[in-house]
Amino acid sequence: MAPDHPPSLAAPLRAWADGLLATQAGVELLIDHGQYLNRADFRERFVDVFTVGGLQLAEINWIQVIAAMDHHEFVCSASEAQVLRLAASIADGIPVDLRDALTGLDTANLTRLTTAILHANGRRTPPHPQHRNPTSS
C-alpha cells in the first residue's frame, strides 16, 4: 500500500503521466516512495498543478529538482536522493550514475525500483520467477 500523501496530488500526477510508460514509472516510483509528495517544499517548488479541459494535472519539473539537489538547495537523505535521481532518470531521461544511485538501497526501495523499471518496459507486474532444478542444465 502506498504511504499517505496529499490525495490531491497523486491523481493529477498520474493523469499527467497517462500513456507515457517511462513517465508513469518515474511518477509511480515517487508516489510509492512516499516522502516527496508529503514535503511542502517539494510540492511548491517542483510540481506545477494546472487544469486542461477540466482535468487537473500535475507535472514534476525533474530538471529543477535535480539541479536543486546538485546545488545543495534541496536537502534530503542519501536514500531519498537516490530514489529521486532514479525516478527522474526513468521519467525524464536525466542521466544517473547507477553505481551511486543503487549502492545501499534497501529492499523496499529496490522492489519499488524494479517495479518501475518493469513498468517503463511495458510490464505492469513483475514476472513470476522460473524455478529450475539446480542439478539440471
pLDDT of res. 45: 96
Mean pLDDT of all residues in the chain? Answer: 87
The answer to whether 96 touches 1, Cβ cutoff 8 Å, is no
Tens of pLDDT, residues 18-28:
999 999 999 99
Residue with cell 517539494: 42
Cell matching residue 60: 514534476
The answer to whether 57 touches 16, Cβ cutoff 8 Å, is yes
∠ CA 55-7-82, nearest 5°, is 105
- Tell me the pLDDT band of 134, cut-offs 50, 70 and 90: very low
